[in-house]
A = this chain, B = another copy of it.
Amino acid sequence: MTLYFIGLGLSDEKDISVKGLEAVERCGAVYLEHYTSVLNCAKQDLEKFYGKRVILATRALVEQDAEATILKDAAEKDTAFLVIGDPFCATTHVDLYLRARKAGIACRIIHNASVISAVGVTGLQVYKFGKTTSIPFSNEQVDSPYEAMKENRKMGMHTLFLLDLDPIEGRYMTVGDAIRYLLRAALRKGDGGFKDSTLCVGCARLGAKDPIIKAGSASQLLKADFGKPVHCLIVPGQLHFVEEEALTLWKKENIQ
């Protein structure tokens, strides 16, 4: 019996790979991790497409109750653990993998697109991103995302900010929320590490049919509408001329 860790990619039921789909069709139990990201389709769309029941896996189920659920199933029958994006971009899934291996369960990984590499579509070189950081909802006293950006910029590197979300409550941070956080953090620190004029690139729904990418100063992007989730924010470091040229395109998108 095999526990399949299957990436679903970024947008809807058809972003799964052909290999991933074939694996799901072989499985006797199908779990969907439902707390680190969100698709642009409903669980029902996945169920219809797979012809299978999909069990929503909360954080508690994966982190505390896996032995009685996912791992128990995987010991008896081929089992799928579906993860939005690539399966191992969230640490918690490595933990599940390690527990499965310890329990003697064979594991197979089927990778997929992640926002970590999809940001390449902005024209900013994926190689030149430094540490990635997340901005939580409660961020009044949180310095680490701001500090990560400052460290990255010192070395000329870009910073990707992933934004907090709560799919169960339907709460999603926006590009504007992220910029307001950075402006507040810079004020609190008093070091001018982020200003109204700082160049930013905002993205929404990367990988979907209607992605939005806009570039501009922090104050320009604060006024921009990015629509539905998921959003992320990039603060670029030093720019190569091809990167400059790509950003010119996204600056135009911001003006339109």
Contacts and interface: CB of A to CB of B under 8 A. Distances in A.
Nearest to A206: B111
Contacts of A85: 117
A211 to B, nearest CB: 8
A29 B121 CA distance: 22
Contact of A127 (B97, B101, B118, B131): B131
A133 interface: yes
Contacts of A89: 117, 120, 126
Copies of this chain: 2
Interface string A18-36: 1101100000000000000
A163 interface: no
A118 B246 CA distance: 26
Contacts of A216: none
A101 B252 CA distance: 13
A152 to B, nearest CB: 8
Interface in A1-26: 7, 9-10, 12-19, 21-22
A142 interface: no
Given A18-B14, A91-B125, A125-B91, A117 B86 contact: yes
A225 interface: no
A43 interface: no
B22 A249 contact: no
A172 B129 CA distance: 25
